[in-house]
Amino acid sequence: MPDPRVLAWLDCETTSTRPGRRPWDIAVIRRPADADPDGDTSYQVFIDRRDLDLADADLKALEIGRFYERHPEFGAGGNVMRLADALHTIEGMLRGAVVLGSNPSFDTETLDPFMRGHAILPSWYYHPVDIPSMVEGWLRGARRPVPQPPKTDPLIRAIGIDPDSYPRHTALGDCQLFRAVYDTITNSQQHLPKGDQDVRDWPEPAVR
């Protein structure tokens, strides 16, 4: 069933995990209210290196996102913009939306101070949705095994999705992955158990 809310999957690859970190790869997938995935709009942008303060970056964070391999100013292809210009577009993609992702507060907290610093008011819904937590709740409600510890990749595999089939630690790839996870658990015909219903008769979630 389509969601009556505007949804937006958000991910940022950043120069560190510290306060003051800067986003260098940002992606959003926006879904209008009451729409199915055919109505989704994707946007990805790389931030001009002049706005990144690389002297204050954490090398490990850059390595995880493969900064020097993927950033267009170091030889890869892609859309590059100054931070202020990119933030205007990102704000429009997130306006009025429920933000979803893996620890999406990290991403909104990354963007918020830079938006405000450029006189842009963040206007997404104040309560983001953490997809791995949704998956854990779905598994527990369905009385299915929950991986221990309940980390993101094992949780995703537990509902039949292979996270390695997506370009991980890229902003758009992570948005696409967590959109697939959301759509799988929300579109499943699975119901909570009633009485002595045999869980072995429940349908498996579809693999996306």
Give the confidence band of 8 by pLDDT, cuts at 50, 70, 90: very high
Sign (positive or negative) of CA dihedral 112, 124, 130, 171: negative
How many Cβ atoms are within 10 Å of 122's Cβ, its own excluded?
18
Calpha distance 112→127 (Å, rounded): 14
Q: Residue ranges of the alpha helices (H) in 43-198?
A: 59-64, 67-70, 83-94, 104-117, 131-141, 152-158, 171-187
Supply the pTM of this predicted model.
Answer: 0.89
Give the confidence band of 118 by pLDDT, cuts at 50, 70, 90: very high
User: Average of pLDDT values for 82-92?
Assistant: 98
User: What's the CATH superfamily of 7-189?
Assistant: Ribonuclease H-like superfamily/Ribonuclease H (3.30.420.10)
* For residue 35, pLDDT beyond 90: yes
Give the confidence band of 2 by pLDDT, cuts at 50, 70, 90: confident
User: Average of pLDDT values for 124-143?
Assistant: 97
Which residue ranges make up each domain of the chain?
Answer: 7-189
DSSP state of 70: H
